[in-house]
Amino acid sequence: MTEEQAMAQETMTRVLDRPTVAAAFFAAVDAYGDRTAVRQHGSERSLSFAEWAEGASELAAGLHAVGVRPRQPVALLLDNDVDFPVADMGAVILGAVPFSLYNTAPVTQILENIDNSEAPVVIAGARYASVARELVGLRPEIVETLVIVPADGVEVDPAGAVPGEIGLAEIVERGRDTAFDAREGASIVAGEDLVTLVYTSGTTGPPKGVQYRHDSVMFMLRSFRERLGLSPEGRVVAYLPMAHIAERLLGYYMGMAYGATQTLLPEMPRLAEALREVRPTRFFGVPRIYEKLLVAAEASAARAAGPDGVAALEALLDERMPWIAENGPLEDPQAGVPNAARVAFDAAREEIGLDQAEWLIMSGAPCPAALLLRFHALGLRVNEFYGGSESISGTSNPPGAMKLGTAGTALPGVELRLADDGEVLLRGPNITPGYLKDPERTAEAIDPDGWLHTGDVGVLDADGYVKIVDRKKDIIINSAGKNMSPTNIESAIKLGAPLVAQVVCVGDARPYNVALLVLDADVLRSFADRHGLAGATPAELADDPVVRAELERIVAAGNGRLSRVEQIKRFGVVPAEWTPGGEELTATGKLKRRSVVALYADDIDALYAPAHTPTGGAR
């Protein structure tokens, strides 16, 4: 290690040793100063650490001027843009509790968050002014102040202003008339104080406000560093909603504390473009994100190398994947790439944009083994993590001792054990103190000894590596009493089938398993072009015999990987792609299984009808 690297590590240690996020922020500002802290993708907007502190301090004073006090919640209805870190950290250094609202959620759902939090202030981007005004109109007894943040090209009708509405410039101006000192405010924030809230999707009842303490977040940042050996500085693309703890921790808080430059991405569909531009040194994604990146990479390889090059690349990957499954990650992925595959290999890695990452994290859902192995065969060492809203994160694979197909071992300082029925239990400083104003559901999740009952079923090997099998409540028990994992079944069907974006297996209390298949819009278009079906709508393609035959082939191949009782006997095709944040998927792309089963109940019943004539949304 050079002297410069040693100094950088020492600086990061000083930041991470702070007891709160508020204190760590000012330590990072003092350490990193003029370095670019945040920049907005597709825009010239950026802030250095010093400029971030200036803006956050001004807003903190303004919030203090309108009556916000420590431990009070502040709701944020903002995009992933430069305004977010200013607003969020402004509330943090005041000692308040900023939390993000999903900006794609319906007003009725956002209203549940406002009712639970009783946030007296909402800070909203100009493009969400009408939604924010509706919230104030519905809850004037709760929301006393609405701060509108201007946005380029967005006009806000002044005639629609609601009581208590002010602009960003006005609240900053009010702050200048107070004696509030931001550093002093940050210094009195305690480790046990809340730093943020994250609301669950509410698919099993009203959304739960998961609470996060300052000391829990700082513990996780230190634990990650100890496990992963993370280096200071670097580059991060923050693309998931800040209403999700994974983005807040792995992108936002970690980026601040480690001195990284965060590229904030307001438009998630531009993720692939942002990754190629930024070449991040750290990246987190759910399996579906990685799947889409891989599809784009394979298309790029085909354009660059043609059929012969692609065939050579496929041969290389087919050779490597079984070896990696048996022996673990390659030490030098660049070694042994034949000349015939080199152009395609390099094009695929270039397209994905993750070739400079020191670590890659996949979490949020069980990962198909073939997907993980394919990334490793391309030399991209994806590390599976396990965690959830209530635990932030609980496990990861040690970089030097990865067991692919597992979520690794408990992070330093975290305890893990399995209950008698296989449920994963976690305990440690990472665990939430509970759900806001909801002691009943808190007691259901966290027992008197402090163990979080995750609801996930897992298996542990002799070395303490955990493999997540499924959600406890999602396990299928068919009418003959056979227990099955729908996730395993779905992964078997999707394996090597980029045409299929989602598989939902149903079979609980039924005589056999059926599935709903959702097609990937981009892959479907390419498939249609190759088979002379260009111009057909997704609904038409879902009924097309050529598409249907390909899906029959995919399901048959998947069934070949399953036991007889697990196999899919019938399937229906959903013609419209499901989008994150909708009724079927969470904002991070995870399946809302119960919601899907309820929404598509008629289609599922039709798959069990003797004549099998699917109706409604699925075909």
165 with 295, same domain: the answer is no
State the burial class of residue 335 (Cβ atoms within 10 Å of its Cβ: 0-12, 13-18, 19+): exposed
For residue 323, the enclosing domain spans 286-380
Rg (CA), the chain: 25
Among 264, 280, 232, 223, residue whose Cα is nearest residue 80:
264
- 106, 113 in Cβ contact below 8 A? no
How far, in Å, CA of 250 to CA of 431, rounded? 16
Neighbour count for residue 164 (Cβ, 10 Å): 16
DSSP 471-523: EGGG-EE-TT--EE-HHHHHHHHHTT-TTEEEEEEE-TTSSSEEEEEEE-HHH
How far, in Å, CA of 262 to CA of 218, rounded? 19
Give residue 54's Cα distance to chain centre.
29
Query: Using the 8-state DSSP alphabet, how is residue 150 labeled?
Result: P
23 with 60, same domain: the answer is yes
pLDDT, position 619: 53
145 with 236, same domain: the answer is yes
Is residue 435 in some structural domain? no
Is residue 214 in some structural domain? no
Is residue 61 in some structural domain? yes
- 86, 59 in Cβ contact below 8 A? yes
269 with 352, same domain: the answer is no
Q: How many domains does the chain have?
A: 3
253 with 290, same domain: the answer is no
Element (H, E) at 100: strand 97-100
Query: Using the 8-state DSSP alphabet, how is residue 231 labeled?
Result: P
- Residue that finishes a domain, picked among 278, 298, 316: 278
Is residue 250 in some structural domain? yes
Is residue 26 in some structural domain? yes
CATH for 50: 3.40.50.12780
Distances (CA, A) of 292 to 305, 332, 352, 483: 20, 25, 10, 31
Is residue 440 in some structural domain? no
63 with 149, same domain: the answer is yes
Distances (CA, A) of 432 to 23, 245, 307, 410, 447: 21, 12, 52, 17, 12
- 426, 452 in Cβ contact below 8 A? yes
The stretches in the chain having pLDDT less than 70 are 201-205, 366, 611-619
555 with 521, same domain: the answer is yes
Among 201, 268, 205, 260, residue whose Cα is nearest residue 230:
260
Distances (CA, A) of 363 to 51, 116, 288, 394, 460: 33, 28, 10, 11, 18
Residue pLDDT, tens place only, 243-260: 989 899 999 999 999 999
Give residue 185's Cα distance to chain centre.
31
173 with 84, same domain: the answer is yes
313 with 254, same domain: the answer is no
Is residue 137 in some structural domain? yes
- Residue that finishes a domain, picked among 316, 347, 380: 380
177 with 321, same domain: the answer is no
427-461 burial code (b ≥16 CB/10 A, e <16): bbbbbbebbbebeeebeebbeeeebbbbbbbbebe
350 with 498, same domain: the answer is no
Whether the predicted model's global pTM rises above the 0.75 cut: yes
362 with 495, same domain: the answer is no
Residue pLDDT, tens place only, 35-79: 999 999 999 999 999 999 999 999 999 999 999 999 999 999 999
Distances (CA, A) of 166 to 95, 135, 178, 273, 451: 22, 15, 17, 36, 45
Is residue 415 in some structural domain? no
How far, in Å, CA of 516 to CA of 598, rounded? 13
Among 281, 275, 230, 233, residue whose Cα is nearest residue 399:
230
CATH for 535: 3.30.300.30
- The helix/strand count (H/E) of the chain reads as 22, 25
- Residue that finishes a domain, picked among 347, 380, 413: 380
